[in-house]
Structure 1
Amino acid sequence: MDAIRKQLDVLMGANRNGDVREVNRKYYDRDVCRLYLVGLCPHELFQLTKMDMGPCPKVHSLQLRKEYEEARGKGIDNYERELEDVIDKLIGECDRKIGRALKRLEDDDAKAAIAISVSEVTQTPEVLELAKEIKEKLKEADKYDLEGLSDMKIRALEIVEELRIKRADKQSTLLLDAFNKDRASLPQPLPNPPPLAPLPVITPDARTQEMINEKLKKAEDLGEQGLIDEAQKALEEAEALKKLPSRQEPALDSSKYTAADVRITDQKLRVCDICGAFLSVYDSDRRLADHFGGKLHLGYMQIREKLAELQVSNLSRISDLV
């Protein structure tokens, strides 16, 4: 109910019920969200994700944001520092998670993960132009909201969603190209391995193989969510299942991949340096597009962009003072 009430406040105004207190509210009141006034409240970014912070306990009002911006333009108030401190903490926590994830990967994986920066390989002029269009359309949506033009606001938000999908598809293609190059550097089994003493090869039966596939899929999903320990545990469970004795097929070929080979070729992971999610070099373009269009990735991308914007603003203000 609180979340619904917040959405109604933003869409229709906090005074939609004719409460006199709302009419007299000022942007500097204690129950008004200062972070929203500056342009970004983290409570809105990660709804229905593992980072969900719940509804913001303070008032969000476009009208009050407009009043704040007018006051800020006159040099009366500036709440940018408060927002910068909050999102700097969020980014710091995310970066520490990324660091832990890299350490948990094998050494060669970690080096490759550092070498392939998701943010670098997916920032082309076309992607940056799409990002610019998205920001402009979001500003239009806010303008229409202030003017009470609900239909035009809805249409602007629909265009934003279309642009985000287009950007996610483009980013997934760029990252897939980078992954394709990365695959070429993966260890490959020798085409004609030297003769070795015959070793028993365990071939799982159909039911065991199904369970192995489920564990691998679970590990991949957990990895994407940044749940490193849980993903590692699922991988270990899959490896244990592979070692179970076969009920159906005898060992046939001693040149098959070992468990280590399977992990190298099937579980080659990279870490997204924007949100900390695991990505596999064997992910499809559709799966990568879902990642780039997901709330968690978009949320972290937005706060990183906002932090850079605030830092530029601070430098500009300091230079003006000097």
Structure 2
Amino acid sequence: MQNQSFITEFVFLGLSQNPTVQKIVFIVFLLVYIATIGGNMVIVVTILCSPALLGSPMYFFLAFLSFLDACFSSAFAPKMIVDLLYERKTISYKGCMIQLFAEHFFGGAEVIILTSMAYDRYVAICKPLHYSSIMNWRLCGILVGVAWTGGFLHSIIQILFTFQLPFCGPNVIDHFLCDLYPLLELACTDTHIFGLFVVANSGCICIIIFTMLLVSYGVILFSLRTHSAEGRRKALSTCGSHIAVVVLFFVPCIFTYARPPSAFSFDKMVAIFYTMLSPLLNPLIYTFRNMEMKNAMRKVWKRLVVVSDEK
């Protein structure tokens, strides 16, 4: 079925039409984006330059998660930040589809990596004697491959359905990014079935995986009763970080996609949270109470200082 779109571009209303507010938001978002990329890349570089960390599946997945966070944020943030400098914020039809694809590609991969990280912690805490044989590098490689494949399949399904929507009337999106529900509102056809599809393909998947993750962490915490006080403290610290990241990622996604397509005034605020704040907070959460990461960062920093001094 051929897409019958007559629209070549969309116009974003953005967060605000007030020039003063836009300038303030521009500065804030620019700083947030720089901090997001910087924080996540520091984690990636630290783990890649620390053989002791890179040899651990937990830190291997953490490096991959940080890379995904940087990519996920970059799918929207640069365009959104630049748009704040212009009165008229436009995006081409093709650019809109690319943005939509990137959002669901990196988001879908992140869901699978967060699930892999939960499984890694489950094996480490509940089956410590079998950890090295279960969480081998072959399995880690498979899980990363599944993350890329799952993200791609989830995203390509969304795009193929969106391509079927005819856009022939209004082209103004009351948002700052291209997403499924804002686009459904502009389609020149009955989108009821499409709305149900979004709930099934994104919302229900998020709810099911989020519930599975919470149950798995519940099992992990329950099994800690048999551990020593020191073992409990270390496991709780690690699992606490994981649970915080899972909640920050899944709750906004469930709110956005697991409901009928209707516009709420705070939809944009929720979108800011999962596109800008969640990728920024993840590196802070994972490094704030993690002594291994902090020590590794100090060693890498000292190594870089020594190399620069020698030059």
TM over 0.5: no
Say which one has the larger Rg.
1
Higher relative contact order (CA 8 A, sep 6+): 2
Task: Give 1 or 2: higher helix fraction.
Answer: 2
